[in-house]
Chains A and B, each alone.
Chain A
Amino acid sequence: SQTIHQWPATLVQPVGSPLSLECTVEGTSNPNLYWYRQAAGRGLQLLFYSVGIGQISSEVPQNLSASRPQDRQFILSSKKLLLSDSGFYLCAWSRQEANRIYEQYFGPGTRLTVT
């Protein structure tokens, strides 16, 4: 069965500090990978998605970036955090097939507080 991991689970960082969140998927190969952010009481905002190693698409211009160094590893980064970056960061994966959108499965999330 497939498993998705995220770490850390919680993080408190000062404004202007760097950020690195990691997501790994087990039990599948060549998945689509996604990063979402959910602000308090809000819906899910898609930040980045990836269909393969080194292939990253950005949905929202901001001070965040993503990388996919390995097939089942997805990293979210920032050089300088803003207060507005606080939120619940979720990684998700789905099967990949041309012209077909499959269900997405979410990791446990990272709760980030920027102070």
Chain B
Amino acid sequence: QKEVEQNSGPLSVPEGAIASLNCTYSDRGSQSFFWYRQYSGKSPELIMFIYSNGDKEDGRFTAQLNKASQYVSLLIRDSQPSDSATYLCAASNDYKLSFGAGTTVTVRA
């Protein structure tokens, strides 16, 4: 079983819509969760991190965490073509981060 699983893409959304990305993790001991964005050919860049159950908002991005369900999500509101990228979910696992395989999002104009 993979430690971090993300919903398979690609995910195509129209400009201005909400993109919803999901992630589940297997280690109940995970305490910290991260979302990264990776443009094609570039390195991952941190979008958000969340440590507590509930929602955390930053601009057009909202991260949601439910530790009981071992579930993390990322909502992108008012999606823009510049949001087209692969989104990586990561969960803490002892001393390291375990990354999901990523979900590719395409925002069509």
Contacts and interface: CB of A to CB of B under 8 A. Distances in A.
To the question of whether A and B form a pair in one complex, the answer is yes
Interface of A: 34, 42-44, 46, 49, 51, 57, 59, 90, 100-109
Contacts, number: 45
A105 B99 CA distance: 14
Interface residues of B, number: 20
Nearest to B31: A101
A102 B34 CA distance: 9
Interface string B43-58: 1111001000000000
A90 B96 contact: no
B99 A90 contact: no
A90 B43 contact: yes
B75 interface: no
Contacts of A34: 96
A77 B34 CA distance: 29
